[in-house]
Structure 1
């Protein structure tokens, strides 16, 4: 006896896409697409049961939506498939286990790889990052991260992932995270290369370094999304990365990711939350190497400066500066190599400017631009900040000079953050546009950033 169709939404989509009498064709296309995740073996009978109430995994639903979308020539949301108990495509809660973090990562990577222009879940949930900080700090460590599966994962494989993370970090520094193509490329790499590895075979020792590498990659993709203005996706990736860092018992990496959540909260105007996150990162890091301490205290200083807490800001800034003076590369984590005295100087300039201590802030300007050539985006961010601080200090000549520099540096950078800094400078200068030199600079900078 043929059972009645209970998923009318899926049936309608299949009819519209030309699969009404071609369930086997849909199954074969899903199997082909699923090769990047391992091996799927669906057939016409599988589609029969999906139409009659069975529900495939969230990842299969993502791929199914992409497959039908290509046939229809329009985007198809997962919810259109009609699986009533499907979980949301984006859930930024802190995962309860390393396995659930891996599953969440795989779903999100699939979305970004197949639909790079989609933004599932536009809103950032206010308390989610703070809840994640508490769970990361106080939950018990995972007993093991070993796995048994189809593909063996070796130390050499893991080192390759660390090298790839370095590569994407360099791309992000040079060009900004605002290119959908760059983020889709990274997500595709994660889908094709990393996803099968996560379901592979590795010992607990290899697994710890493997999870660390995956956390680093997820954190890098998060920062690219943050720089592009995709804040919900950025937060979700950071929280997944935080959970994977917890699985490896890497407190320093976890603190770094928590500080990135603080930086995002600050950018979104939640300075008090940012300060709490930064302090949680400092507390969780424990006896950290000097450069890590410098990075964490710098984030705390920026948060306190943004919230107008002068004493707390200056105290954190002093601690960061002392740590910078003691910094050296020996024995420090690989990922902290990006943080230099110039990054500290740029943050010091910003938080002192927030406290309206403009002259004191500008003392950090020369150090803030003493950056390596590859730090193109940071150079543009710091140059815009220096120019804006000069306007607020009343020195229009210096502001215009730095504004011209900014137009040069921002020209080829795809970054919502750089665009925002340029607009802040334009607003500050706009009050003085009757000055011919100011009007000239405004025309120049308004034509510069591509975003």
Structure 2
């Protein structure tokens, strides 16, 4: 390696060390604000107050309370103290506010003027796409609010899929710029892809996001600006697409939905430029999962169908199975039981035909146990508590050291034993629900996933009517200890 490679080597001493360097900065601030917002919403809904009622009681505006709950605005100390008093939280919000202040002290942001639509378009050339991607990553690094704080937009959800299905591979992926780029630099990018994916799968999207941002800005963007032939260009673009896909998923898991959507769109465009159909299908599946999580079954279904069509055409049965499972979840969210069952059957058949060693490494996580998890979530959306309880043991038994999946699965299982808007015929077992959730809370202590926190708080709200029971009080005590440990 030459001296110009030093920027790369600072990120590669080991996967574990590279990922552990994320404790401070913008990622931790996001996580702290999300935690405070989730806590405020939990206590407000537990006490039966609307946003406007809480705003009146704390002498704040409705808009402020709304934005704080959405983690779009930092809370003040006065708000935390007044909300603690109004909601009778025993100081829980003031403690959460302390975490926000600690994260603020560590974060350094330098906003700069930028177009609010950055990343939502589908550029016509490889060069302009790389320029857009570079602008998006730099905006994220600087914390530019119109981009970092953007909302997910349904208007931008489906056009990229249509363009993907009709777009031909870019003819020329070569570039003449800085130093010559070769295979070793691409291998570094793929090594980091694996490290970031491992961190995300285990500990959630907030854990390594700030390190990913730094790696792309300091290492990947200079590589894309170098000199390389068409074949190296395709390899670079594919790896950059995968890193952008990971950036999108980490944002989605950290409740940065609009930013995640933009990363996904640009990841798909990069995969199109590189001609990597299997990766494009995987990205479309990730986009479908985000739409489902946001309660958009129409968009979730269309994106999963586009991914399924691509995966089938390029010969990736595992990716096709995942897309079929996501179609099942979209149908379940829409309340269509027959379509859900049909898509589940298709997913099982496709996964049975898959040969993991022949699949791209990024889809090898989609095992029979992961398929069981997708079926469990679909059953939850349909209110089928017995089916949730049937699939949950398989999912939980395979979730060792994967804290996010354990928390999501345990919360889903606990919810199945409690009254809910969908599960109309389930047998209520508060003690069982509390036991399941309490056992999962230690895993949540090291988790940086807004989805994980939301799933826990959803069960806590279901338990609120039973607050006088010792088991429920134990859940709240354990949660308070976990919250304090994270401060």
Instruction: Tell me the distance in 2 between the aligned counterparts of 1:431 and 1:313.
Output: 32
Deviation at 1:87, TM superposition (A): 3.9
CA RMSD of aligned residues (A): 2.4
Question: Which residue pairs with 1:15 in the alignment?
Answer: none
- For these two proteins, the number of residue pairs brought into alignment is 373
Q: Contact (CA 8 Å) 2:380, 2:412: kept in 1 or not? A: no
1:429 aligns with 2:463: yes
Distance 1:316 1:446, change over 3 A: farther
Instruction: Tell me the distance in 1 between the aligned counterparts of 2:300 and 2:347.
Output: 17
Q: Contact (CA 8 Å) 1:426, 1:446: kept in 2 or not? A: no
Deviation at 1:400, TM superposition (A): 1.8
Question: Which residue pairs with 1:196 in the alignment?
Answer: 222
SS in 2 for 1:390: coil
**Residues 356-390 of structure 1: CA deviation (Å, up to 9, x unaligned):** 22112211011111325342211111111111112
Q: Contact (CA 8 Å) 1:112, 1:118: kept in 2 or not? A: no
Question: Which residue pairs with 1:100 in the alignment?
Answer: 128
Question: Which residue pairs with 2:389 in the alignment?
Answer: 362
Distance 1:174 1:76, change over 3 A: closer
- Higher gyration radius (CA): 1
Instruction: Tell me the distance in 2 between the aligned counterparts of 1:133 and 1:219.
Output: 15
Structural mapping, 1:206-221, within 5 Å: 206-221=232-247
Question: Which residue pairs with 1:156 in the alignment?
Answer: 184
SS in 1 for 2:417: helix
Instruction: Tell me the distance in 2 between the aligned counterparts of 1:408 and 1:190.
Output: 32
Q: Contact (CA 8 Å) 2:118, 2:147: kept in 1 or not? A: no
Moved more, 160-169 or 355-364: 355-364
Deviation at 1:115, TM superposition (A): 3.5
1:376 aligns with 2:376: no
The one of 365, 375, 396 equivalent to 1:348 is: 375
Instruction: Tell me the distance in 1 between the aligned counterparts of 2:282 and 2:292.
Output: 15
Instruction: Tell me the distance in 2 between the aligned counterparts of 1:312 and 1:430.
Output: 34
SS in 2 for 1:327: coil
Distance 1:78 1:89, change over 3 A: farther
**Residues 216-269 of structure 1: CA deviation (Å, up to 9, x unaligned):** 011111111111111111111110000011112111111111111111111112
Distance 1:120 1:114, change over 3 A: closer
The TM-score, its normalising length taken from structure 1, stands at 0.77
Q: Contact (CA 8 Å) 2:407, 2:456: kept in 1 or not? A: no
Question: Which residue pairs with 1:237 in the alignment?
Answer: 263
The one of 237, 240, 252 equivalent to 1:226 is: 252
Instruction: Tell me the distance in 1 between the aligned counterparts of 2:294 and 2:257.
Output: 9
Q: Contact (CA 8 Å) 1:116, 1:184: kept in 2 or not? A: no
Deviation at 1:194, TM superposition (A): 0.9
**Residues 185-220 of structure 1: CA deviation (Å, up to 9, x unaligned):** 211111111111111122222221211111001111
1:140 aligns with 2:174: no
Q: Contact (CA 8 Å) 2:204, 2:250: kept in 1 or not? A: yes
Unaligned stretches of 5+ residues in structure 2: 1-6, 8-106, 420-425
Unaligned stretches of 5+ residues in structure 1: 1-35, 37-72, 80-85
1:248 aligns with 2:282: no
Distance 1:76 1:215, change over 3 A: closer
Deviation at 1:439, TM superposition (A): 3.0
Q: Contact (CA 8 Å) 1:90, 1:120: kept in 2 or not? A: no
Structural mapping, 1:155-174, within 5 Å: 155-174=183-202
Distance 1:248 1:374, change over 3 A: farther
Distance 1:374 1:162, change over 3 A: farther
Instruction: Tell me the distance in 2 between the aligned counterparts of 1:360 and 1:328.
Output: 28
Instruction: Tell me the distance in 1 between the aligned counterparts of 2:153 and 2:322.
Output: 25
Instruction: Tell me the distance in 2 between the aligned counterparts of 1:95 and 1:238.
Output: 14
Deviation at 1:77, TM superposition (A): 4.2
